[in-house]
Amino acid sequence: EKITPKMTKEEGEIYKLLQKNDRNLGLDEMVELSDFSPSQISVLLLNMEFKGIVKRSAQNHYLLL
């Protein structure tokens, strides 16, 4: 069983957004689908990458791990 790292409320919102959208979205798509600014999403995704929750693909999309 995979242990999910502790996420902030905002990271949880990004996580749910990725879950609903085939676990694969670009930054622009996340901005359109959320109430976050591009800079807010960038910081959240970077933190989530460090925690091993998401990874960035070659196409600059973000994938849930």
Domain ranges within the chain, ordered by starting residue: 9-64
Pairing of strands 24-26, 54-56: unpaired
Looking at the domain covering 9-64, what would its CATH class be?
mainly alpha
pLDDT band at 58 (very low <50, low <70, confident <90, very high): confident
pLDDT band at 1 (very low <50, low <70, confident <90, very high): low
pLDDT band at 4 (very low <50, low <70, confident <90, very high): low
15: CB partners within 8 A, 6+ apart: 7, 48, 53, 64
- Segment 1-28 shows an average pLDDT of 85
Q: Is the pLDDT of residue 43 over 60?
A: yes
Q: What is the pTM of this model?
A: 0.85
Instruction: Answer for the pair 65, 54: CB distance below 8 angstroms, yes or no.
Output: yes
